[in-house]
Amino acid sequence: MKIIITGATGMVGEGVLYTSIYDSRVSEIVLISRKKSGYDHPKVREIIVDDFFNLGTQITELHNYDACYFCLGVSSVGMEKSQYEKLTYDLTLNFAKCLEPNNPNLVFIYVSGQGTDSTEKSGTHWARVKGKTENELMKLNFRNVYGFRPGFIRPIYGLKYTHNYYKYIGWLYPLGRMIYPEGFSSLKEIALAMLELSTHPISQKIIGGKMITQLAKMKNN
Contacts 24+ apart (CB under 8 A), 14-18: 14/159, 14/160, 14/161, 14/162, 15/155, 15/156, 15/159, 15/187, 15/188, 15/190, 15/191, 16/69, 16/71, 16/187, 16/190, 16/191, 16/194, 17/44, 18/156, 18/159, 18/191
What per-residue confidence (pLDDT) applies to 141? Answer: 97
Helix, coil or strand: residue 103: coil
Question: How many angstroms separate the CA atoms of 68 and 194, rounded?
Answer: 9
What per-residue confidence (pLDDT) applies to 221? Answer: 43
Q: Give the DSSP letter of residue 87.
A: I
Q: Which helix (H) or strand (E) holds 174?
A: helix 172-179
What per-residue confidence (pLDDT) applies to 56? Answer: 82
Which residue from 196, 107, 112 is spatially nearest to 151, judged by alpha carbons?
112
The domains found in the chain, sorted by start residue, are: 2-216 (3.40.50.720)
Which residue from 202, 190, 195, 186 is spatially nearest to 219, judged by alpha carbons?
195
Strands (E), the chain: 2-6, 28-33, 44-48, 67-70, 107-111, 144-148, 152-154, 184-186, 206-207
Residues of the chain scoring pLDDT < 50: 221
What per-residue confidence (pLDDT) applies to 117? Answer: 95
Per-residue pLDDT reduced to its tens digit, 112-123? 999 999 999 999
Per-residue pLDDT reduced to its tens digit, 45-80? 999 999 999 998 889 899 999 999 999 999 999 999
What per-residue confidence (pLDDT) applies to 216? Answer: 95
What per-residue confidence (pLDDT) applies to 167? Answer: 66
Phi and psi at residue 166, to the nearest 5°: -65, -20
What per-residue confidence (pLDDT) applies to 150? Answer: 96
Question: How many angstroms separate the CA atoms of 156 and 203, rounded?
Answer: 29
